[in-house]
Structures are given as C-alpha cells and as structure tokens.
Amino acid sequence: MAIQTWFITGSSRGFGRSLAVAALEAGDRVVATARKPEQLADLAERFGDRVLPVALDVTDAAAAAAALDAARDRFGRIDVIVNNAGYANVAPVETAPEDDFRRQFETNFWGVYNVSKAALPLLKAQGGGIVVQFSSIGGRVGGSPGLGSYQAAKFAIDGFTRVLAAETAPFGIRYLVVEPSGFATDWAGASMDVQDVPPEYRETVGAFHDRARAGLAAGDPDRGAGILVRVVKRDHLPTHLPLGTNAARMALDHAQRQLAEAGAWQAVSASADFGEDYPVELPADAA
C-alpha cells in the first residue's frame, strides 16, 4: 500500500496526537502542526525525518498557507489533510461573553476554512487528495446545552464541506466528515473553560457540564485514530463517519426522527407551491 503524507492540525494532544502516531506507525509521513511546535519534539525523536513539526495557529490564514507550503516543500505532496484543531467552552447563549463565542468560532470554523481553502490549489495541482474534517456527533444532531458556539461551528463545517465536495468533485478531491461522540481526551478537561451558569440554566447547561466533566467518555482516541488511518486508504470513503457507540446510535435515531417528521409534513410542505392542493390539513397536534 502506498505511503501517504498527512497534514494534521492540533497534533500536540488529544485526537490529533493519536492520529499522528497511528499514521506514523502505519509507515506514513506526517506534518504535525501545533501552536507550540516544541510539544511535538517527541514525535520527531521517535519517528525521525518522517515527521515534520510545524508551528500553526489555524486562525491565521497566511500561516496556514505557509505551513502547507512547508509540507509540500518537504515531502512533495500531501495526501491527507486533517482539520482537527478545535475546542469548546461552556456557557448559555444568553450569558456567554460575545468575544469568547467569537474566538471559539474563529478556531472551530474559520480555522477549518483557512486550511481547507489554502490546500485547494495544492490538491488540484497534484490531482487530488483527501480532506478529513473533524466535526462531532453534535454537529449532526445538535442540542447540547452550553455548546452554542462549538456546535454552530460544527454544523457550519458540515455545510461548508458539502459545498466543497460539490465544487471540487472534478479535481479528484475527496472529503470525510468525522463525527465523534465522547472520547477520552482533554476536550472536557483542561481545554474547556466553564463560564458562570445562572441558576435558571442549572438543569440544562449545568447538567450537561457535569456529565462532560464526569469523564465517562467511552471512546478510545487511539482506536479511533487507527480506524481513520485504515478508512482513508480505501478507494471509496463514507461522506460522514460517526465514531463511538453513542455517535452511531444518535445518528440513527436522528435520521429516523427526521424521516418521520418530513413524512408527516410532506403534504403541507408541497402545498406551498403553485399548482398543488391548498390548503391541506395539518398533522394532528398531538403532544
């Protein structure tokens, strides 16, 4: 199997670190990026010249382009680009400081935008490649109290990636949106700040935060990374890949609810068009 070159954002810890190690252990080459590249020194010591540590703040578009250029100059091409960098803070939308809400979105969405956009000329020139976008199962089903900025960004990543896939289909560029449920990383630990939660939001935002802090995540990031290394070597990729038992269950439950609701309201939806029956009965207003 051909050796692949990976470009991974947020490689210093968590899923990004596990993925960098899994790719290197599979014999691939990795451009490992982090805000503090000294945190990647152990990878270079262990894997030698198959790993290139690069400093990158994904919110800096020029830095993203420079990091990709450095990757190309070192290895000649990039086969797999992974937009993994991201974090979440917890607060109700009503009381969350706007600057914090915006900072999260800058990393979680605009960071993905910056790297993806900068990668397109390179991927087009080399005749293709794979872009792996880390979302979350919350980016599919939503509704996690306290994660307004984070989940809004994950929904935006999904929509953005669907457009990219349509626009770049003739260029051989493929996309995979990864949707993990809870994994044993520090996502809900040192990486997460909790703003003041007013008493009236204790049952929703406060309860979510308590569950997240309990550290009961079932997902093993090393296993998840190993799965992704195997998946991207396939000829045909899924468009979306829930990772974890809870992610799979939530995705299926959400799809079933969507199908049921769309079917129940189908006649009402159609009645908005010229030439269709109008008015039509609304579905029963059951509790």
Question: Is the previous residue joined to 279 through a cis bond, with omega within 30 degrees of 0?
Answer: yes
SS3 176: strand
What values do phi and psi take at 88, rounded to 5?
Answer: -135, 140
Is 87 in the active site? no
Is 154 in the active site? yes
Catalytic residue among 150, 175, 181, 201: 150
Is 117 in the active site? no
Q: What is the rounded distance in angstroms from the CA atom of residue 155 to the CA atom of residue 143?
A: 11
Catalytic residue among 113, 154, 181, 201: 154
Give how far Cα 172 sits from Cα of 84, 100, 120, 235, 263, Å: 22, 37, 11, 12, 36
Q: Long-range contacts for 32-36 (Cβ within 8 Å, ≥24 apart)?
A: 32/8, 33/7, 33/8, 33/9, 33/67, 33/85, 34/10, 36/12
Catalytic residue among 11, 12, 135, 136: 135
Give how far Cα 101 sits from Cα of 38, 93, 148, Å: 28, 9, 8
Give how far Cα 198 sits from Cα of 32, 91, 92, 189, Å: 40, 9, 8, 21
**Token pair belonging to 6:** 């990976």
Strand partners, 29: 5
What are the catalytic residues? 135, 150, 154
